[in-house]
Amino acid sequence: MKERFRQLVHFFTRSLWRVTQADVSRSRYTSYNLMKITIQTVKCFIKDRVWIRAAALSYTTLFSIIPILALLFAIAKGFGFSNLMERLLRNNMIQNNSMDMVMTFIDNYLEYAKSGVFIGIGIAMLLWAIINLADSIESNMNAIWDVKRPRSYFRKLTNYMALYIVLPAVIILYAGVSIFMTTVYQQLAEYLIISSFVHICFKLAPYILSGLIMTGLFFFIPNTKVKFKNAFIPGMITGIVFQAFLYIYIQIQMSVSSYNAIYGSFAIIPMFMLWADISWSIILFGVEMSYVSQNIELYNFGQEADNVSRRYHDFLCVVVMSLICKRFEQGGLPYTASELSDEGEIPIRLTNRLLDELETIGLIYGISNDTKSETEHYLPAVAISKLSVGRLLSTLDSHGCEDFKIDHTKEFGSQWDAFIGHKEDMYAKTNDILLKDL
């Protein structure tokens, strides 16, 4: 039993991550990838301390919820659908007595907005509260996706305002479809089979809509290229879990009366914070799943990539530089990181690290026609007629700080001379070997 358990642990921690597509059948490779995605999503969720991000978003949500609802109701009222939105919130979000208090806040906020006192600072605070939440959501998703360049302020303003304009239309559409399906269900009640099918569709509709909304968030919010399949599947899973938790939350809220006895009219706040915190944790877990599913190849050979020897590190640098120089000499389209990984059969995670290092020391540079790092191509930054193996190794060895107090001229002079002599002999032997000729 112990041996079997040890083998399972070894498989899930090491062997599973060494399997490539050429090693097994397509169906088995797909099943292995599902295992990898599940394991790595949980590991990333813990490593990135996502629950702290969820807590921060919960606070921002509490601060912004009334201004956002006020804006949504104002837009809906302009189209004559404010009653429909209110009914939807009462049926799906919170208890009626709490909803009465929320609606009072919203009405007061909108009434205050019509007065002259609100003009200026009031509008600025409204816009800041609304944009701050959307910006916080994007920042957290970008952090999970390891995106270094956020959207410009102009794009943020236009995209976020468009989102808040479209959101009431989506809510109204959902409410309209729900009313239509309810009417159809009542008319077809006498037809057992048809009514049963409509009833199932009616029950599944919120889960499907929630999944589609999550898919849209995962696809559009991160400032990088997200493949639709890597947003759709995690989005649908997240939407179903989110909607199921919402249903449980509503049931618990209706059955728990002690909060009202303790907090009175403020009972909505701890319950709302609990809902927001768990909901954001679910959503950010889905973002992690979306990122991992698109970049699962990054985690293959993870232990080996993190513990590569210095000798093999230098060898792989020679391989990568040789491929880049050869492609440049031939006049072909420069390599991307994924192409170099495939060509040299180097794990993509290690390939990215090598390219970053070679770019930092000034031997290559990346170019791109857009702002997405996935489309970055790599060119030599030095004339390839001067890029020898010796120069590459010398640059790798000498890059970085050497300004320490250790005395390498007298006290440790013999060690330094022996070391430098060996290195210079190695450089001299390979100075005439150009990387493009390998």
Claim to verify: residue 292 and residue 310 sit in the same structural domain: no
Domain match, 147 and 288 both: yes
Clarify whether residues 18 and 63 are in a common domain.
no
- In terms of domains, do 251 and 150 share one? yes
pLDDT range class, residue 354, cuts 50, 70, 90:
very high
Query: What are the tens digits of pLDDT across the range 102-114?
Result: 666 666 666 665 5
Query: Does pTM surpass 0.85?
Result: no
CATH number of the domain to which 324 belongs: 1.10.10.10
DSSP letters spanning 299-333: GTTHHHHHT--HHHHHHHHHHHHHHHHHHHHHTPP
Residue found under tokens 């205050």: 112
| pLDDT tens, residue by residue, 272-298 | 788 889 999 999 999 999 999 988 877
198 and 95 share a domain? yes
pLDDT 10s digits, 257-274: 555 555 555 666 777 788
Q: What is the pLDDT of residue 373?
A: 47
Cα 55 from Cα 35, distance rounded (Å): 28
Mean of all residue pLDDT scores within the chain: 79
pLDDT over 90 at 12, yes or no: no
Neighbouring residues of 322: CB distance < 8 A, sequence distance ≥ 6: 435, 436, 438
Same domain, 274 and 314: no
Q: Tell me, what's the pLDDT at 152?
A: 77
C-alpha closest to that of 41 among 212, 230, 185: 230
- Please indicate, yes or no, whether residues 144 and 221 belong to a single structural domain of this protein: yes
Q: 214 and 93, same structural domain?
A: yes
pLDDT > 70: percent of the chain: 74
- 251 and 397 belong to one structural domain: no
Considering its fold, how many domains does the chain have in total? 3
- 165 shares its domain with 207: yes
Structural domain boundaries, residue 219: 48-298
On the question of pLDDT at 94 being above 60, the answer is no
Task: Output 200 or 411, whichever has higher pLDDT.
Answer: 411
**Quick one: pLDDT at residue 42?**
92
Residues 160 and 231 in one domain: yes
Which of 13, 30, 45 is at the close of a domain? 45
